[in-house]
Amino acid sequence: MRSLLLKPAAKPLLFILCLAPFFWLAYGALANQLGANPAETLIRSTGDWALRMLCVTLAVTPLRIHTRTPQLARFRRMLGLFVYFYAALHMLCYAWLDMGLDIPDIAKDIAKRPFILVGFTALLLLTPLALTSFNRAIKALGAKRWQTLHKLVYAIAALAILHFFWMRAGKNNFTEVYVYAGVLGALMLARLPALRLTKT
């Protein structure tokens, strides 16, 4: 298993798997197979995939530590960038399909609706993480400052759950919210031994 993770084909295969939801949604939109409200399906689905990718990304470190599989670390950067990819798509679908790319109206809507403001804030916080996910950025910032910056992911996870919670509050449907909150909470707790190991 560990040797398979080091195979040259491992990263391209993961890349294709991470892009699969995008291709499925694009095909569904082109083939008119996204239901009665395709715009809502695209907005919700891209948001769901951003949250799923966030869970997978945060799972890398505890899995790497607890299974003693350091090879998993080579996939973390790509997974983190896919979090940003789907979060940015989520924002684009909202801005384009829901708001018609009307910037003044989008700004008013963000300021008026707390759940959109929280989601937009999470995307803003994700942006410097995506921009500094490359080796040159790590060297320029220095390892300590880079690690401090990337701890923003914990705040981003909390904001993502709050965004999802407020979005579902209108329909009083919190089942999925609790599932994601439970998964992210468990991943945070699982990271504690890893954090202690990095400090010693």
pLDDT digits (tens, 9 = 90+) for 96-131: 999 999 999 999 999 999 999 999 999 999 999 999
CB 21 within 8 A of CB 41: no
Query: Residue 120 has what pLDDT?
Result: 97
User: CA nearest 152: which of 135, 132, 129, 131?
Assistant: 129
Residues 6+ apart with CB under 8 A from 58: 153, 157, 184, 187, 188, 191
**Tokens linked to 157:** 């996870």
In the predicted model, is pLDDT for residue 137 greater than 60?
A: yes
In the predicted model, is pLDDT for residue 9 greater than 50?
A: yes
Domain that holds residue 155: 2-199
The whole-angstrom separation of Cα 4 and Cα 17 is: 16
Query: Residue 200 has what pLDDT?
Result: 37
Query: Residue 68 has what pLDDT?
Result: 87
Mean pLDDT, the chain, as a whole number? Answer: 90
As for how many domains the chain has, the answer is: 1
Looking at per-residue pLDDT, the higher value among 7 and 98 belongs to 98
